[in-house]
Amino acid sequence: MPIGKDGDKYLPYSKRSGNESIVYFTRDLSANGLEKIYKRINENLTGKIAVKLHTGEPHGPNIIPREWVKNLIANEIPNAKIVETNSYYEGDRYTTEQHRETLKINGWDFANVDIMDELGTALIPVNGGNYFTKMSVGVSMLNYDSMLALTHFKGHVQGGFGGSNKNIGIGCADGRIGKAMIHTTPGQPDQWDIANEEFMERITESTKATVDHFGKNIAFINVMRNMSVSCDCEGVEAEPVVTPNVGIVASLDILAVDQASVDLVYSMPNNFNAALIERIESRHGHRQLTYMKELGMGNDKYILIDIDNNDNKISAVDAVKDVKPFEG
């Protein structure tokens, strides 16, 4: 079946083609669960390791718990650094000084966070893109040998959902040049005029630049907890969480890890998924996935490995059949 551009339409597993990648899954939403699943995908993370995560706006209620990340770095990757970039919108992460104050407020002061565009930007190639031949990223990204995309999976006001693709594509693009390339048509008064399929494709081309830069030395973890339809960039203004917590998924394949996360949402029983599905489809977020496949970034078919139960192979439906209503 040819891949379409219909980002508002979910493509069932039975209609996908190609090879399968390995995706690991645990229901253990804890520091221990994060550490266990990290050990399954860390084989190529060597040298100087960047941990790219969204550290959030001040007092953001849904970001990955700091203690989980502190534990992971201390126990498994002591030489790693958390990396971020400044925001494109004016606010509490717009300048490096504001950003560092927000990091302190949100409890990330246990780590010397590298704001990658603090000292400037760099252009890295985009291979096979329709919009870009190069993407502007924070210059210090070039100092790292490997990257772990540690992502809080949730909704997104423009992207529909924010998984590993969004975390890298927008999150590694620098705050002034790279993010503008993704969000804004030059000369337009509306900072956010690019939307729907074009926005998904621009995010994905930016991601491809970083993924290609690191080659095999990159891995992906999506934490499916406190999944508001809002991104963590909305901070305390985020919509209340109504989607059940699921667990953690991880892979060496960026498409597989984001596709599995979306499949887990769509597989939830009892209409628990209505709000997040509406957000994904209304923003045409599925185009993130189909465009990753078109660009050869991974597989949308996968084998889901339940690391809680002797590495049994399970379906997305099996993985979420016992989810409970969200309790804040």
Give the separation between CA 50 and CA 81, rounded to whole angstroms: 5
Mean pLDDT by 10 residues, the chain (328 residues): 73 96 98 98 98 96 96 96 97 96 95 96 97 98 98 97 98 98 95 96 98 98 97 90 97 98 96 96 98 98 98 98 92
- The pLDDT value recorded for residue 261 is 98
Burial of 12 (0-12, 13-18, 19+ CB in 10 A): exposed
Alpha helix positions (H), 111-243: 164-169, 178-183, 196-214
Question: Running DSSP on this structure, what letter comes out for residue 4?
Answer: -
Q: In what helix (H) or strand (E) does residue 255 lie, and over which residues does it extend?
A: helix 254-266
Q: In what helix (H) or strand (E) does residue 271 lie, and over which residues does it extend?
A: none
- The pLDDT value recorded for residue 270 is 85
Give the separation between CA 261 and CA 118, rounded to whole angstroms: 32
Give the separation between CA 313 and CA 139, rounded to whole angstroms: 41
Token pair listed for 4 = 């379409």
Size of the chain in residues: 328
- pTM for this model (two decimals): 0.97
- The pLDDT value recorded for residue 28 is 98
Tell the residue number behind the tokens 């849904």, with chain if given: 62
Question: Running DSSP on this structure, what letter comes out for residue 254?
Answer: H
Give the separation between CA 58 and CA 60, rounded to whole angstroms: 5
Degrees to nearest 5, angle at CA 214 with 150 and 288: 60
Closest to 144 (Cα-Cα) out of 114, 111, 177, 174: 114
- The pLDDT value recorded for residue 237 is 87
Number of Cβ atoms within 10 Å of the Cβ of 247: 23
